[in-house]
A and B are shown apart, each in its own frame.
Chain A
Amino acid sequence: MDIKNYIASGIIELYVMGLCTAEEETELIELRQQYPELDRAILEYEEQVENKMQQNGTLPAAAVDEKILSQLASLKPPADIINMPQQASVKNIHRPANWWKAVAAAAILLFVISGYYNYVLLKKNDRLKSLATTGTSTETLPLSDYTVITNPAITPVAMYGVGTHAICRCTMFWDKKTGKAYIMIHHLPKSSSSKDYQLWAEADGKVVSIGIINDSIRGRFIEVENVPANAIAFSVTLEKAGGNSSPTVAETYLAGKI
């Protein structure tokens, strides 16, 4: 292509004045990337037009200025664009910097959140260790539903009401690896001061106590420890305060199998 003839053809003037056909515009945009002299010629004419028009402007009335400036001051950005980083097309050189900054900011934020979350969990674990007693008692702990339920190691065990207590429900989230289980009571009558609910596990043909359920805190997970890894069934009975060495079968409220 004879780029000098092309530049002199009037196409640049048509383009800058917005009078090109779509095809002419597409061709010119492609060619300006191949021919720096064309690109320079376009920019030069754009600047000439701008300078000439800026020199021959007409000022609107002051009241018009005031009205428009006031409106421009009050315009709100589109809802999905609030302090959006500048577009890549504005200045390509800035894109990697902004991209890096965004990722860095996100990483720092995640790090802070994760640090805080770990701190909270550590504090909770400390509390668990200090409070837990093996075999015969349990403590209620406000572990978040989210933490327990989303743990992929958890085996959920649904426990249903037995006999006249059919309305009773609870779910146990059992972590076989750690031997801990978290019990959420959905429905269970309040125990009297002289009685406690006791949780049992059946393993190796024996039923063993894995803890007293302190049901004073509802709507929270109740944690128990030392759940036998080979347990095949669980039950909850109402026993004398402090618990029994073996379950009172007639007082079984809940039962569930793996």
Chain B
Amino acid sequence: MQQPHYTEAELVAALKRYDNVAYQYLYLNYRSAIYNNILQIIPATETANDVLQDVFVQVWKNIEKYDTSKGRLFTWLLKLTRNMAINQTRIKNFKVHSQNEDITNYVTSIENKNPDETAVHHIGLRQQVHKLRAEYKDVVELAYFQGFKQDEIAQLLQLPLGTVKTRLRNAIIELRKELV
């Protein structure tokens, strides 16, 4: 089947018109990047597949909220993907972990997991993060892959908020050098 080609503006316009073909195009065009991002957070393929599907259905349901003045479509997709994947891990971990487990221990136990030890190995951002020095790795791991807010990270790591902000910014500048 001949796939249509859209500019980003055309694609967004078609998505906002709930054009099914545009959603299929969106999926085919972005699925590998989105799937990889999900796998960074959820290595289990079956769950990751479910999240992948949910992400694109959520795009359909939430497309009217997407504001082009706030960023590119992919940036919005990435944020949506990350939020959904993190939510999924929280649901799963809530079931797995006993209710009386201290939240700090729970976070640390996940934090110490090395992505290289996961069942499925995917090259991506998380690997880059784990190459960072420990103090940077911790804040990015908690912020990006586990979805904690900066003040929550300060509380969890018992650091001043200012220190968390500085480490997060320095860490992400370091990552940029690796990313581009």
Interface residues of A (CB under 8 A from B): 9-11, 13-19, 21, 29, 42-43, 45-50, 52-54, 56-61, 64-65, 67-69, 71-75, 77-78, 81, 83-84, 86-87, 89-91, 94
Contact = CB atoms under 8 A, between A and B. Distances in A.
Contact of A16 (B75, B83, B149): B75
B18 A14 contact: no
Contacts of B24: 69, 72-73
Contacts of A50: 33, 72, 74-75
B49 to A, nearest CB: 5
A9 B78 CA distance: 22
Given A46-B72, A46-B75, A64-B49, A90 B16 contact: yes
A39 to B, nearest CB: 10
A10 B9 CA distance: 28
A155 B126 CA distance: 81
Contacts of B170: 10
A53 B36 contact: yes
Contacts of B71: 15-16, 42, 46
Q: Interface size class for chain B?
A: 35 or more
Given A18-B78, A60-B52, A75 B23 contact: yes
Chain A, interface SS category: helix
Contacts, number: 147
Interface stretch (B92-100, B101-109, B110-118, B171-179): B171-179
Most buried by A among B12, B17, B23: B17
Interface of B: 9, 12-13, 16-18, 20, 23-24, 27-28, 30-37, 39, 49, 52-53, 56-57, 60, 64, 67-72, 74-75, 78-79, 82-83, 122-124, 143-144, 149-150, 168-170, 172-173, 175-176, 179-180
Contact of B33 (A15, A16, A18, A53): A53
Contacts of A83: 17
Contacts of B179: 48-49, 52
A249 B38 CA distance: 93
A86 B18 contact: no
B169 A14 contact: yes
Given A16-B75, A58-B122, A89-B68, A10 B169 contact: yes
Contacts of B72: 43, 46-47, 50
Nearest to A83: B17
Nearest to A94: B13
B6 to A, nearest CB: 12
A19 B144 contact: yes
| Closest CB pairs A-B (n = 4) | A57-B32, A10-B169, A77-B18, A18-B79
Contacts of B75: 16, 18, 46, 49-50
A53 B37 contact: yes
Given A16-B75, A48-B179, A73-B20, A89 B69 contact: yes
8 contacts: A18-B75, A21-B149, A53-B74, A58-B122, A60-B31, A68-B27, A71-B57, A90-B9
